[in-house]
């Protein structure tokens, strides 16, 4: 699949994730020549399905097609005969603080609290108030459980790092699908024999001369313009040098967008179902001091024989430093509290996704810092008529999502083509 570096394409696309592949697709349609450069050995980036560990497909990155009635991947999935499983109203397997299984009345109470808190958060943002979400959480039953889900496990940052303005701005993620064969595998179908140079690391994007010089581990390429789709985690790490330096406004936008961390901990069992329904969320009520540091689960997604534990935010960054074995043991011990020690007998193997240490992502997905709403828009503007950032962090009200990445790549390809190949006006 990997191709040698050509000389002088119109556009260099850095990154072959959802955004880079969609930019390539759009440039094909527009007849603009391009090359995609990808540092890792595979396409898809954070959309990544692997089957070799469990013998069943597991999405290491994205797995939900969110807002599925207006999401390119719903159509693409149907077209390519993927199995899309509706996950809009999943069953909740809930436990109380004393370990007892919650009654339906408790679950109804949780749902009521969730709706109320969401309404307050959105209302705050709608009024133009951009403060940490934690500041407006009412003291309703199960609010701690909600904060754990919505902060660490949904936004991938702790609840005090979520901007109320962004919370209001982002589109609803329901209805949704999960993909039996893997969303990463579905995203990979975007690649229609595109010219992609794999295992090729970009070190520098130099705008100082005519066009753009992209310096890579396999040599330099000169193009008219560059679409850079790497994550904000990578941009923050300064592994790619920009010449001249990015202006203060753009650099500030990068500083104002955090790279969150969500770690998945898939645990394979021997076919036992532990009393949890397929595709259900397993969660438990927690004390205030544990918000952000609890592991909730998705049970037997689309009928596979594994549950997926989730940890996120600062707790996930900290736990990741201890290594995969510790993380798997932590998740197992949490599941054991809910299901009893029989789980050990039926447990086959588990692993933790490596988004914390992955040098090509440096985290999972982005979240705007409280008080910094507007940073995504700044980051998505073309620079010097020859560089444009794309990717999930630039995706407006569908930021953080794989379809947001797709739409941002498509838009960047159109905008940059309009700049480098303006239509000749007829006299």
Ligand X SMILES: Cc1cc2nc3c(=O)[nH]c(=O)nc-3n(C[C@H](O)[C@H](O)[C@H](O)COP(=O)(O)OP(=O)(O)OC[C@H]3O[C@@H](n4cnc5c(N)ncnc54)[C@H](O)[C@@H]3O)c2cc1C
**Chain residues that interact with ligand X, rule: CB under 6 A:** 14-20, 37-40, 45-47, 61-64, 66, 201-202, 229-231, 234, 239-240, 262, 264, 353, 355, 360-361, 364-365, 391-392, 400-403, 405
CB closer to ligand X, 76 vs 129: 76
CB closer to ligand X, 250 vs 401: 401
CB closer to ligand X, 17 vs 125: 17
Task: Kindly state the DSSP code that residue 17 receives in the 8-state scheme.
Answer: B
Residue whose tokens read 């130099």:
206
- Packing angle, helices 18-30 and 402-420, rounded to 10: 40
Residues 170, 174: Cα–Cα separation, whole Å: 12
User: Using an 8 Å Cβ cutoff, are 400 and 365 in contact?
Assistant: yes
Closest CA to 276 of 313, 252, 308, 319: 308
CB closer to ligand X, 41 vs 289: 41
CB closer to ligand X, 163 vs 366: 366
Smallest separation, CB 363 to ligand X (Å) = 8
Smallest separation, CB 294 to ligand X (Å) = 17
Closest CA to 234 of 147, 402, 118, 355: 355
Smallest separation, CB 25 to ligand X (Å) = 13
Residue 112 makes CB contacts below 8 A (sequence gap 6+) with 140
CB closer to ligand X, 65 vs 282: 65
Smallest separation, CB 188 to ligand X (Å) = 11
Residue whose tokens read 């951009």:
130
For the residues of 43-102, what is the DSSP string, one character each? SBTT--EE-TTTSS-EESS--EEESGGG-HHHHHHHHTT--EEE-SS--EEEE-TTSPBP
Residue 333 makes CB contacts below 8 A (sequence gap 6+) with none
Angle, alpha carbons 49-315-231 (nearest 5°): 50
Q: Is the dihedral of CA 14, 399, 378, 410 positive or negative?
A: positive
CB closer to ligand X, 106 vs 369: 369
CB closer to ligand X, 62 vs 117: 62
CB closer to ligand X, 137 vs 212: 212
Residue whose tokens read 């998705």:
298
Smallest separation, CB 402 to ligand X (Å) = 4
Closest CA to 40 of 359, 392, 418, 301: 359
Smallest separation, CB 106 to ligand X (Å) = 27
Smallest separation, CB 361 to ligand X (Å) = 5
Smallest separation, CB 423 to ligand X (Å) = 28
Smallest separation, CB 395 to ligand X (Å) = 8
Smallest separation, CB 67 to ligand X (Å) = 9
Phi-psi region of 62 (alpha: psi -120 to 50; beta: other; left: phi over 0): beta
Other CB atoms within 10 A of residue 325 CB: 11
For the residues of 101-162, what is the DSSP string, one character each? BPPHHHHHHHHHHHHHHHHHHHHHHHTT---BGGGG----TTHHHHHIIIIIIIISS-GGG-
CB closer to ligand X, 171 vs 421: 171
């Amino acid at each position: 699949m990997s191709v040698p570096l050509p000389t002088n394409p119109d556009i260099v696309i850095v990154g072959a994730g959802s955004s880079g592949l969609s930019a390539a697709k759009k440039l094909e349609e527009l007849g603009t020549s391009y090359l995609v450069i990808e540092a890792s050995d595979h396409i898809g980036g954070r959309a990544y399905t692997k089957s070799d560990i469990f013998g069943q497909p597991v999405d290491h990155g994205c797995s939900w097609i969110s807002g599925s009635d207006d999401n390119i991947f719903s159509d693409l999935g149907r077209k390519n005969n993927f199995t899309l499983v509706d996950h809009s109203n999943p069953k909740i397997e809930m436990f109380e603080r004393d370990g007892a299984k919650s009654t339906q009345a408790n679950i109804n109470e949780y749902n009521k609290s969730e709706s109320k808190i969401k309404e307050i958060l959105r209302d705050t943002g709608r009024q133009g108030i951009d403060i940490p979400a934690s500041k407006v959480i009412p003291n309703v039953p199960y609010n701690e459980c909600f904060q754990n889900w919505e902060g660490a496990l949904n936004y991938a940052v702790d609840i005090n790092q979520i901007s109320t303005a962004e919370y209001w701005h982002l589109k609803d993620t329901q209805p949704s699908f999960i993909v039996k064969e893997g969303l990463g595998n579905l995203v990979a179908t975007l690649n229609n024999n595109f010219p992609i140079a794999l295992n090729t690391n970009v070190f520098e994007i130099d705008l100082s001369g005519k066009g753009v010089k992209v310096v890579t581990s396999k040599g330099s390429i000169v193009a008219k313009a560059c679409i850079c789709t790497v994550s904000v985690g990578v941009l923050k790490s300064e592994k790619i040098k920009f010449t001249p330096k990015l202006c203060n406004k753009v650099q500030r936008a990068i500083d104002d967008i955090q790279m969150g961390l969500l770690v998945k901990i898939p645990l394979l069992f021997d076919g036992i179902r532990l009393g949890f329904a397929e595709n259900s969320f397993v969660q438990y009520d927690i004390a205030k001091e544990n918000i952000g540091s609890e592991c909730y689960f998705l049970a037997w997604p689309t009928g596979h024989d594994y549950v997926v534990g989730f940890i996120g935010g600062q707790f996930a960054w900290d736990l990741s430093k201890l290594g995969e074995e510790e993380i798997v043991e932590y998740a197992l011990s949490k599941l054991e509290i809910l299901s009893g020690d029989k789980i050990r007998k039926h447990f086959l193997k588990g692993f933790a996704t490596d988004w914390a240490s992955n040098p090509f992502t440096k985290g999972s997905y982005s979240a705007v810092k409280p008080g910094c709403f507007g940073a995504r828009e700044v980051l998505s503007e073309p620079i010097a008529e020859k560089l444009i950032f794309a990717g999930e962090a630039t995706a407006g009200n569908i930021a953080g999502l794989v379809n947001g990445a797709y739409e941002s790549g498509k838009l960047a390809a159109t905008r940059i083509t309009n700049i480098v190949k303006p239509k000749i006006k007829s006299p």
